[in-house]
A and B are shown apart, each in its own frame.
Chain A
Amino acid sequence: MSEIKVNSIKGAAASTAAITVHNTDGTATGKFTNLPGRNIVINGSMNVAQRGTSSTTSGCNSVDRWQNQHGNTDEAPTQAQIALTSSDTGPWEKGFRYALQTTNGNQTGGAGAGDYIESHYRVEAQDMANSGWNYNSASSKITLSFWVKSSVAQTFYGYLYTADSTAQQYPFSLGSLSANTWTKVTKTIPGHANITINNDTGEGLRIAIVPFYGTTYTASGVTLDAWGAYGSGAECCPDNTSTWYTTNDATFAITGVQLEVGDTATDFEHKSYAEELFRCQRYYYKLKNDSGSTSSHWYGGGFVDTTTQLRGGIVLPQHMRSAPTSFETTGTAGDYAVWHSGNSTTTCSAVPSWASTSSSSGRLTFTVASGLTAGQGGSYRALTTNSYLAWSAEL
């Protein structure tokens, strides 16, 4: 038997060791680029879009967990989950098949001071607090990496933001992007003594990527790549070039967003759709009639409480971040029905309602005009292919 005794193993041209062998305790520390559980960002590959694939409404309305916010625009931008093709050189070869794309509206009034379009992701505070990042130490690092493409050649900015205690920001540049060319952006970010991240279910860290901010939200003297107090004027990044914003239908896309503890951007941690969907469902859960049949979808069962109401409990698939703060329907009562005694289906006269909710369950009520028999059982039924119910506990 032979034995090799070394202190470290390093690549021939590397400046640091890939594996450090501890001298006395029989252990080693390695810098591996494919260990599971590295990516703090959920749905960084933009695969999951429960709400739909396209929307012009500000907020979290297409790709799960990603908020596309806009304000003071002359024409609302469109946020969309777009499918990549083999022409998307860069992310395609790395295994990405979707991106979150913002398509600008026609900003006929030019770049106003209060105008803004941004995409951002909010990390749940306890996921940051328990990540292993010593966020109060400048020698402890996190690394953010992502792919970005703009249809307009320009320098863009982004920033990290922490909300707890005195809010802090870390502005950074995405660099000068070439038009219609995917670029990999990597930022390694140190901790700072002024950062506070509570160990709770609130917002812990925000990753903001900015197609355009008007001058209300920028300042010429903003220092890049450094933590500082979030300004009362919310100057989150240097003054933006407005070329992208004043170009009708300009596009800006991101994918492959990874935030990990350490000073190295490792390979993106791809997950199965099922795993990513389950992680997203902590924040948003949608039951939809995807049967292809108008009525072959059931939301569950309950009891007939009165001649007009079917009521019952619904158990959510996991503990959501909090009790849902919103409950969504199609807004059309006729998309829903009650199935009850005698194989009868009665169309709802009001949209379903939700009450008495916790983070994992609540009470669902379907209301009809008449015809139910109190004390009997019944089922919540879809009546159109549009029918859905959804619960949101998004940050």
Chain B
Amino acid sequence: MRFKKIAKEDAGDTQWYFQIEDDGSSKVQCSGDYPPFKEWVDEGNTAEAAD
């Protein structure tokens, strides 16, 4: 599992991320407060840049 930034539609939007599974599928978008994202970051990972 990894996370990738979602391009902001408006400058004032908070940053959201795609959660991308190992098979490349992505059903979840999340904020930085999403518990699995926080755990992933705590493990030393960094989200990929947006397209």
Contacts and interface: CB of A to CB of B under 8 A. Distances in A.
A370 interface: no
B26 A326 contact: no
A311 B13 CA distance: 14
Contacts of B19: 326
A323 B31 contact: yes
A328 B30 CA distance: 9
Contact of A331 (B8, B14, B16, B26): B26
Interface in B1-51: 6, 8-10, 12-14, 16, 19, 25-31, 33-36
A325 B27 contact: no
A325 B35 contact: yes
Contact of A355 (B16, B27, B35, B36): B16
B9 A327 contact: no
Interface in A331-354: 331, 351, 353-354
Nearest to B8: A355
A363 B6 CA distance: 14
B30 A322 contact: no
Given A355-B8, A355-B16, A365-B9, A326 B29 contact: yes
Nearest to A311: B9
Given A327-B28, A329-B27, A331-B26, A322 B10 contact: no
Interface string A283-311: 00000000000000000000000000001
A356 interface: yes
Contacts of A59: 36
B6 A353 contact: yes
A330 interface: yes
A374 B7 CA distance: 21
A59 B37 CA distance: 13
Nearest to A58: B36
A322 B14 CA distance: 15
A354 B29 contact: yes
A354 B9 contact: no
Interface centre among B14, B19, B26, B31 (most CB of A within 10 A): B31
Given A325-B34, A326-B34, A353 B29 contact: yes
A324 B16 CA distance: 11
Contacts of A324: 31
Contacts of A325: 30-31, 33-35
B16 A328 contact: no
Nearest to B6: A353
Contacts of A354: 16, 29
A122 to B, nearest CB: 11
* Max chain A Cβ within 10 angstroms of own Cβ: one of B10, B27, B28, B34: B27
Contacts of B31: 323-326, 357
A355 B30 contact: no
A380 to B, nearest CB: 16
A326 B28 CA distance: 6
Contact of A330 (B14, B27, B35): B27
A355 B13 contact: yes
Nearest to A354: B29
A261 B28 CA distance: 37
Contacts of B34: 325-326
Interface centre among B10, B12, B30 (most CB of A within 10 A): B30
A323 B33 CA distance: 9
Contacts of B8: 355
A327 B30 contact: yes
Contacts of A330: 27
B8 to A, nearest CB: 7
Interface string A355-367: 1110000010100
12 contacts: A323-B31, A323-B33, A325-B31, A325-B33, A326-B19, A326-B28, A326-B29, A327-B29, A328-B28, A329-B29, A331-B26, A351-B26
